Amino acid sequence: MKKPIAVVRLAASLLGTLALAACGASATRVEKARASAYQADYPLVWNAVLAALESEGYRLAVQDLDHGRMVTRWHLVESHGDALHGQDGASVLMFRAVVQIQGKQPPYKISVDAEAASWRPIFVVPLVFEHGSDDEPDWVEGRINRLYVEVLDQLEAYAVPAGAVQALKRPPPGHARH
């Protein structure tokens, strides 16, 4: 009887190790996505960001092609009680993403930020959480990271390290800036 218990413990240990390895790979992918810029034409980058937002189920409220800015509509994430019908104590938690394509020429850097908000029937407008505050839902950063990775998935063939891009754009030593 001790053998099956040992096998179960070994299997559980291996599964735990695999789960940690998967998280490490995910963290590495997020780090790469956040640190990438894209050596591609602007329309390709714009359309990739649109595709990334759509793949996560977001609909756009703002599309500013000239300034490289996209803002999603509020997206329902959690519902507690029947807020839509005015139930006392009911509330909903919502999320919206703000994506900025930075740069006037390739390579383009993508910046993703977001807001979370709570809405209750007694509120006229949603109560937006301060980004990074203790009250902000834990899932905000994960949703931001998913968008970075979705963009990387769309544009991986064009990805270059953003730090290297900044180094290339610096003027040579002794060159005066005007």
Q: What tens digit of pLDDT does each residue of 119-146 get?
A: 887 777 889 999 889 999 999 999 999 9
The CATH topology of domain 35-165 is: TATA-Binding Protein (3.30.310)
User: From residue 134, how far is each of 63, 98, 130, 145 by CA, in Å?
Assistant: 31, 21, 9, 19
> Residue ranges per domain, the chain?
35-165
Q: Give the Cα separation of 61 and 159 in Å (integer).
A: 27
Helices 42-55 and 139-155: crossing angle in degrees, nearest 10, is 140
Q: Could you tell me the pTM of the whole model?
A: 0.74
Q: What does the pLDDT read at residue 91?
A: 85
pLDDT < 70: residue spans in the chain: 1-25, 82-89, 164-178
Q: What does the pLDDT read at residue 136?
A: 95
Q: What does the pLDDT read at residue 31?
A: 97
Q: What does the pLDDT read at residue 88?
A: 60
